[in-house]
Chains A and B, each alone.
Chain A
Amino acid sequence: MVNKRYVARRFALMLASLFIVITILFFLFRQVPGGPMSAFTNPRMSQAARQAVIEQYGLNDPLWRQYIRYMVNVAQLDFGQSFYYGSSVSALITDRFLNTMSLMLTAFTISYTVGTYLGAQLGWLRGTAKERVGMVVVLFVRSMPVFWTGMVILYVFGFQLDVFPIGGMRESTASYDTTTAKFLSTDFLYHLVLPVFTLSTYYTGLPLLLMRNNILEVLSESYIDTARAKGLTNRRVLFVHAARTAILPVVTAFAIAIGFAVGGQVLIEQVFSWPGLGREMVQASLRSDYPVAQGAFALLSAIVITMNFVADLAYTYLDPRVRLGES
């Protein structure tokens, strides 16, 4: 039984944060040197043509009117037209968002599952030779810059062994009828392997170390002595009693990581030529394509805020002390 008032309060808070973030984004982009006009008006344009464009986009209106118009549009999920592509921003960022999420979600699911499991084991093995070796390996892997690992992996598996494609999301000749078909094709999965492998290797470190530390802390609790005194197997003590409590902060970390995953891993998207949201955001900023950058940042914040909310809800589900709300 989840405390309804708590959920309602958290939800209201989430909407408020979102509103504030989008407002800040709007005014922030209007303070950027150059302004939107320089991006798509040409110095060689005649004064009349320039006026026409400005009129057409409503850039003559006072700022507050522009702001209200923008907010009304955003409420209808309309983020305007891209200056660069000339197409709808919503459609563009949805496409890039799916590309990024297919990569990041897979990588995070793998790294958090493996990391949590290995972290629990390492915590249990504390003080043994196995643990010391394990920690060195983890810290070593964690210290490698992700773009460097990516390039090494690309070099070995893509160029030398030639077993995996060297970039992109699918063969350039392939075409698919539906989005689902696109993401379920073996072609896509084949392209997914190297970037996911690179990312999972990198991201496993955090949940692993977090889980290990939590396990070490939980193992000194007296309810662990109780569990051992009951004659339970080590496995059961570790996974039913210790890991069940130790996993709570990892769940939060996972939800927050997913939030930030939307921004994509710019470096990895660059190395593997992955057409994701991260790369798009960087390029949109460089091109002064404000509608795209603004839309992408708004989506990013929305997901981060939503995932924080989800993390809190997951917490209330996993921890009975929060669930029943001792007010």
Chain B
Amino acid sequence: MKRATATFDFDDDAPLLAVEDAVVTYSTSGGDLTAVDGISFSVDENEIFGLVGESGCGKSTVAQAILSLLPSNGRVASGSVRFRGIELTELSKRELDALRWEHFSLISQGAMNALNPVHRISNQIVEAIQAHRDVTTDDARERAAELFEVVGLDPDRMDDYPHQFSGGMKQRAYIAMSLALDPDLIIADEPTTALDVIVQDQILKRLKQLRDELGISVIIISHDISVIAETCNRLGVMYSGKLMEYGDLKEIFADPYNPYTLGLQNAFPTLRGDQSDLISVPGSPPDIADLPDGCRFLDRCPFATAECETEHPPLETVGEDHASACYHHDSIERMREEAKNRETWERTGSDTVPTGGIGDD
């Protein structure tokens, strides 16, 4: 097999992954649509970073942009994505292939169709290894068996086809494959979405274990704030292509500053909470083909004022490692208090706007 190799001049002082002001657009017959609109965040070594938001908010597009897996009509229109200082958007296909899987790999929704149904799982792992390393098939198979043990699967079953595995087993097998070359960073796009809660818990524990034992950093992309809460060190809350709140998980959960985060927190059950405590945010994200002039959350925000209609608020530092995009940070105490009441959320014009999700499925 043709191996993907290239030499890189990594900057050891740079963060593991730095996304700066990234804009991702899709060209469609109706003109360019902006799915991700000027997002910045960084991920350090040994850290699990979470991106959370409703479907259609552009979080999967961010993952695809990092891995250069955008559909053919999508591109990073401006901004930068740097891995250890290397600008990923300017690499040739060959250079990019040398970095992929070797330095950053992917965990897709393995429970679904992320493993090729017509190839044996072992062969799919061996292929990933041999695409980068000059090793014999026997050695690569030995490595695959080792990886199966790491993720808690029986190595005797590695020659099975994906359909012979249950959803949870497929997800583990996929994780085994993504660990094949000891990557520095794993991008996990909805890693537990199709799994039941027990398996979901096992998978998330495994990811934390990988961070602690192997020092791997992980980006988890999920619509489920409880998944993020359980695993991440830091997070970004996305809405309609923008980061609404960003920073340290504990800070954000203890003192949320953004009305959207307040709404998200309300909408998820806690183990001890009463079911009736759940309050949903009426309406849906704006159509990305027809974005409002002001704050993206304007139509659904119970605290919106005339100021919010001017333009989308910039991210403002509100804590040590904590930023939020809102014009009303000074009245946050009042907003937190009122957000606990169902009536607060019901006072927004709840006329439903169709979701404008693209590339986020």
Taken together as a complex, chains A and B put the C-alpha atoms of A230 and B69 apart, in Å, by 11
Q: Are A244 and B118 in contact (CB under 8 A)?
A: yes
Flag the segment in A66-74, A253-261, A314-322 that touches B.
A314-322
Q: Are A225 and B108 in contact (CB under 8 A)?
A: yes
What is the distance, in angstroms, from A206's C-beta to the closest C-beta of chain B?
A: 23
Query: Main SS of the interface on chain B?
Result: loop
Flag the segment in A2-10, A191-199, A231-239, A297-305 that touches B.
A231-239
Q: Are B115 and A232 in contact (CB under 8 A)?
A: no
- Size range of the chain B interface in the assembly: 35 or more
Q: Which of B64, B98, B112, B117 contacts A321 (CB 8 A)?
A: B117
Query: Main SS of the interface on chain A?
Result: helix
CB contact under 8 A between A126 and B72, given known A230-B128, A244-B119, A245-B118: yes
A221 contact set on B, CB distance < 8 A: 113
What is the distance, in angstroms, from A129's C-beta to the closest C-beta of chain B?
A: 13
Q: What total count of A-B pairs have CB within 8 Å?
A: 86
B72 contact set on A, CB distance < 8 A: 126-127
Q: Are A232 and B97 in contact (CB under 8 A)?
A: yes
Interface assignment of A113: CB less than 8 Å from any CB of chain B: no
What is the distance, in angstroms, from A219's C-beta to the closest C-beta of chain B?
A: 9
What is the distance, in angstroms, from A205's C-beta to the closest C-beta of chain B?
A: 25
Taken together as a complex, chains A and B put the C-alpha atoms of A222 and B100 apart, in Å, by 16
Which residue of A has the minimal Cβ distance to B174? A226
Interface residues in B153-173 (C-beta closer than 8 Å to A): 161, 163-164
Interface assignment of B1: CB less than 8 Å from any CB of chain A: yes
B99 contact set on A, CB distance < 8 A: 231
CB contact under 8 A between A225 and B106, given known A230-B128, A231-B4: yes
Q: Are B117 and A233 in contact (CB under 8 A)?
A: no
Interface assignment of B258: CB less than 8 Å from any CB of chain A: no
Q: Which of A126, A226, A231, A321 contacts B161 (CB 8 A)?
A: A321
Q: Which of B100, B112, B119 contacts A231 (CB 8 A)?
A: B100
Interface residues in A197-237 (C-beta closer than 8 Å to B): 221-223, 225-234, 236
Interface assignment of B289: CB less than 8 Å from any CB of chain A: no
Q: Are A229 and B117 in contact (CB under 8 A)?
A: no
Q: Would you give the 0/1 interface string for B1-44, flagging 1 where the beta carbon is closer than 8 Å to chain A?
A: 11010000000000000000000000000000000000000000
CB contact under 8 A between A226 and B97, given known A127-B72, A320-B161, A324-B164: no
Interface assignment of A182: CB less than 8 Å from any CB of chain B: no
- Size range of the chain A interface in the assembly: 20 to 34
Q: Would you give the 0/1 interface string for B104-126, flagging 1 where the beta carbon is closer than 8 Å to chain A?
A: 01101100111111110000000
A240 contact set on B, CB distance < 8 A: 119, 127
Interface residues in B130-154 (C-beta closer than 8 Å to A): 131-132
CB contact under 8 A between A230 and B116, given known A225-B69, A225-B108, A320-B163: no
Interface assignment of B184: CB less than 8 Å from any CB of chain A: no
Which residue of A has the minimal Cβ distance to B72? A127
Interface assignment of A142: CB less than 8 Å from any CB of chain B: no
Interface assignment of A177: CB less than 8 Å from any CB of chain B: no
Interface assignment of B101: CB less than 8 Å from any CB of chain A: yes
Interface residues in B69-115 (C-beta closer than 8 Å to A): 69, 72-73, 93, 96-102, 105-106, 108-109, 112-115
Which residue of A has the minimal Cβ distance to B3? A231
A223 contact set on B, CB distance < 8 A: 113-117
Q: Are A226 and B116 in contact (CB under 8 A)?
A: yes
Interface residues in B51-76 (C-beta closer than 8 Å to A): 64, 67, 69, 72-73
B93 contact set on A, CB distance < 8 A: 234
A222 contact set on B, CB distance < 8 A: 108-109, 112-114
Q: Are A229 and B102 in contact (CB under 8 A)?
A: no
Which residue of B has the minimal Cβ distance to A228? B69
Q: Are A231 and B131 in contact (CB under 8 A)?
A: yes
Q: Are B116 and A320 in contact (CB under 8 A)?
A: no
B1 contact set on A, CB distance < 8 A: 236
CB contact under 8 A between A320 and B118, given known A231-B101, A231-B132, A326-B163: yes
Taken together as a complex, chains A and B put the C-alpha atoms of A241 and B115 apart, in Å, by 10
Q: Are A233 and B116 in contact (CB under 8 A)?
A: no
Which residue of A has the minimal Cβ distance to B128? A230
**A interface with B by C-beta (< 8 Å):** 126-127, 221-223, 225-234, 236, 240-241, 244-245, 318-321, 324, 326
Across the A-B interface, the 3 shortest Cβ-Cβ residue pairs:
A231-B97, A231-B100, A320-B161
With A226-B115, A230-B100 known, 4 other A-B pairs at CB within 8 A are A225-B108, A228-B69, A231-B99, A240-B127
